[in-house]
Amino acid sequence: MPRVIRIFGSTAGPPIRDDRFIPLIELIRAWNALGQPFLVPGRYTPTIEKASEIKRLLYLSARYYCSCGDRHCNRKHSNIDGCPNGGQRIGCRADVVKDAKGRPRTQFRFFDKRESIRSVVERYGADPSKWPYQARAKKARA
């Protein structure tokens, strides 16, 4: 049986880390603008493909971000257990939209992950199997 290796672009294993937008996350935190929608300047999204790529990178940066400053905090401590140093974890919502002139744009917002989990619990109860979206449900049940 051949060994499975991770090839760029394959779906095996976690996605390859990308920190490119972590400075942007820090900026938006410093502005106290978590939860607010932003548009990526149009010159960075001349095509749908570029806009989608930026969307993907925004998600990746949020996935690997913890405000405690430990680059590997997310790998060592899940969002369920949280950061041992009280660091903030960030979620991302991004969409490719079209502006008034029909040009592709990437619209996104970063938000506090703990707050969003709390609001899901308030709305749907503590049982993750009843949540409409349950990325971490398997871990929570284990």
Shortest Å distance, C-beta 121 to Zn ion: 21
**Residues between 79 and 108 that touch Zn ion (CB under 5 A):** 83, 87
Residue 120 touching Zn ion (CB under 5 A): no
DSSP strand E in the chain: where?
38-39, 90-98, 104-112
3-state secondary structure of 130: helix
CB atoms within 10 A of CB 91: 20
Nearer to Zn ion by Cβ, of 47 and 78: the residue is 78
CA distance 30 to 69: 15
Query: Residue 39's beta-bridge partner residues?
Result: 107
* Surface-to-core class of residue 114, CB atoms within 10 Å of its CB (0-12 exposed, 13-18 middle, 19+ buried): middle
Stretch that binds Zn ion, among 16-24, 28-36, 63-71, 119-127 (CB under 5 A): 63-71
Stretch that binds Zn ion, among 6-14, 32-40, 75-83, 131-139 (CB under 5 A): 75-83
Number of residues that bind Zn ion (CB under 5 A): 5
Stretch that binds Zn ion, among 8-16, 64-72, 99-107, 129-137 (CB under 5 A): 64-72
Residue 68 touching Zn ion (CB under 5 A): yes
Residue 22 touching Zn ion (CB under 5 A): no
Out of 51, 66, 90, 92, the only residue in the binding site for Zn ion (CB under 5 A) is 66
Tokens of residue 37, six digits: 């929608």
CA distance 35 to 44: 22
Shortest Å distance, C-beta 66 to Zn ion: 3
Residue 77 sits at φ, ψ, to 5 deg, of -130, 120
Give residues in contact with Zn ion (CB under 5 A): 66, 68, 73, 83, 87
